[in-house]
Structure 1
Amino acid sequence: MSLLNQLHHQLGLMSWPLILCSVLTLALWLERSLALLWVSLRGEQEKRHLRRSGNTYAYTQAECSDPKSLILRGCNLLVQHQNCDKGTREDLASVWLQQQRRKLHSGLRVLTLVGVISPLLGLLGTVLGLIDMFRSIGESNDPVTPSLLADGLGLAMSTTAAGLLIALPAIAGAQLFGLWADRLLDKLTDELNQCNLHLEGVQLGGRP
């Protein structure tokens, strides 16, 4: 509680909104890092397993009641509909990929919103701090000294600094996690395309 009281004393009225933004940013950073890392590692592990089997998609045609990686789940979906025509499987894969895109990009809009709001909250806190400081000076009969102004300005500007410190990792995280998710989706799309061609009897390199 002493830390929270100190932050409230330093940041004034905007302390709780800024603390909420910082906690939300940290939580989303941890959640997205773990989620995307899990998807990436499981995908690479599954690809190595499939390649060791001798036939890239032989394992997808085996019965698998609970696939864990996105690659295996996507290929199993296509295999389950292998009797459909190629266009139908492509439409099915496209819908499934859109669902995975929403999951992989989950929370990134919130991070972006926090990155936009945090500096504004900090600026608002600075303005309110300056208003309070000048009101106190106007009500006081004591002489205004440079040290008094420096202390008041320092406390007021601390909210702007806090807002920027929250906004930087929030915006950076939204961009970096978005690039990471897009890269995973590109790899997943490529694997599904190859699987679809395999079901049509077409192999890369022109081999039937």
Structure 2
Amino acid sequence: MSQSLYLQLSDQLGYLTWPMIICASLTLLIVLERVALIINELLNRDAWLTELRQQARSATPEKRQQLITLLSQGRSMLAQGSALLLSHGGQPRLMREEILNMWLLKQKDKLQSGLKVLHIIGVITPLLGLLGTVLGLIEMFTQLGLSNGPVTPSQLATGLGLAMNTTAAGLIIAVPAITLSNLLGLWADKRCNHIAHGLNQLNLWLEGFDQALSIGSDEPYRKVSAIVRAQMTNASTPMTTELTEPNR
């Protein structure tokens, strides 16, 4: 069955059968590998960070060791980076930041791996389709040149079929390749920013700033608003008393 499929593709695409098959196969492999990475990141939720934010405990040595033990079993990138950060918790803050920057650059390359190849395939395949169009037209005009009689549809069918089929095949591969390259790139940037934000929170937490784990959430702003409203209410009460005392 595979041989018959190859023969059908060969009849439709001509000399460009193998280049198109290679581009389509690479696109499929890269997309499947990226999707597997995304699923792995989504399934491995970082519930430990949410629990740590709710507790907001001080970064004691015992708490650090508990987190390292917990994160050593995690598979997400944020868990791995957090374990690396906590294992260097005794280092100065600038040293920890340098370690995190180096680690984040490596993870960014990992998240964006294969996307450039996917983008290149999206650029090359329409050009291959255009090349097939030119080859199909050349073949069509060659058949017309060899014919001494009137032009028949059968003489035009082979050349025009090759021209149209290669163009269609190139676009069918290029459109998903370019689209998924951009979408996966956006997800990679968003995931890198999320990981960097979580690690920066932990880095400040190691410096003794417990509220660092709440940076970026709406809960601290609600608390601050409630405190400000309470202070304003308390501040207005003595003023009312002072104004009413002379009347007594």
Instruction: Tell me whether the two structures share a fold, i.e. TM-score over 0.5.
Output: yes
Q: How far does residue 31 in structure 1 lie from its aligned partner after superposition?
A: 0.8
Gaps of 5+ in 2: 221-248
Check conservation: 1:14, 1:125, Cα contact below 8 A.
Answer: yes
Tell me how far apart the structure 2 counterparts of residues 174 and 104 of structure 1 sit (CA, whole Å): 12
Q: How far does residue 9 in structure 1 lie from its aligned partner after superposition?
A: 0.3
User: 1:171-191 CA deviation, whole Å, 9 max, x = no partner?
Assistant: 011100000111111110010
Q: How far does residue 110 in structure 1 lie from its aligned partner after superposition?
A: 0.6
Partner of 1:130: 137
**For residues 49-128 of structure 1, what are the structure 2 equivalents within 5 Å?**
49-52=48-51, 55=55, 58=63, 59-62=66-69, 65-128=72-135
Partner of 1:13: 15
Check conservation: 1:36, 1:181, Cα contact below 8 A.
Answer: no
Q: How far does residue 151 in structure 1 lie from its aligned partner after superposition?
A: 5.4
Tell me how far apart the structure 1 counterparts of residues 183 and 70 of structure 2 sit (CA, whole Å): 36
TM-score (norm 2): 0.76
Cα distance change, pair 99–164 in 1 and its aligned pair in 2 (3 A): same
Query: How many residues align structurally?
Result: 204
Gaps of 5+ in 1: none
Equivalent residue in structure 2 for 1:190, among 171, 176, 197 = 197
User: 1:71-111 CA deviation, whole Å, 9 max, x = no partner?
Assistant: 11111111111111111111110110000000010100110
One-letter identity of the residue aligned with 2:122: G
Check conservation: 2:128, 2:170, Cα contact below 8 A.
Answer: yes
Cα distance change, pair 77–55 in 1 and its aligned pair in 2 (3 A): farther
One-letter identity of the residue aligned with 2:40: W
One-letter identity of the residue aligned with 1:71: L
Tell me how far apart the structure 2 counterparts of residues 52 and 135 of structure 1 sit (CA, whole Å): 74
**For residues 149-188 of structure 1, what are the structure 2 equivalents within 5 Å?**
149=156, 152-188=159-195
Partner of 1:40: 42
Moved more, 175-184 or 28-37: 28-37
Higher RCO (C-alpha 8 Å, min separation 6):
1
Tell me how far apart the structure 2 counterparts of residues 191 and 180 of structure 1 sit (CA, whole Å): 17
One-letter identity of the residue aligned with 1:38: N
Moved more, 189-198 or 72-81: 72-81
Cα distance change, pair 98–28 in 1 and its aligned pair in 2 (3 A): same
Tell me how far apart the structure 2 counterparts of residues 130 and 172 of structure 1 sit (CA, whole Å): 30
Q: Which has the larger radius of gyration?
A: 2
Q: How far does residue 36 in structure 1 lie from its aligned partner after superposition?
A: 1.9
In percent, how many aligned pairs have the same letter? 47
User: 1:8-39 CA deviation, whole Å, 9 max, x = no partner?
Assistant: 10011111101111111111111111112212
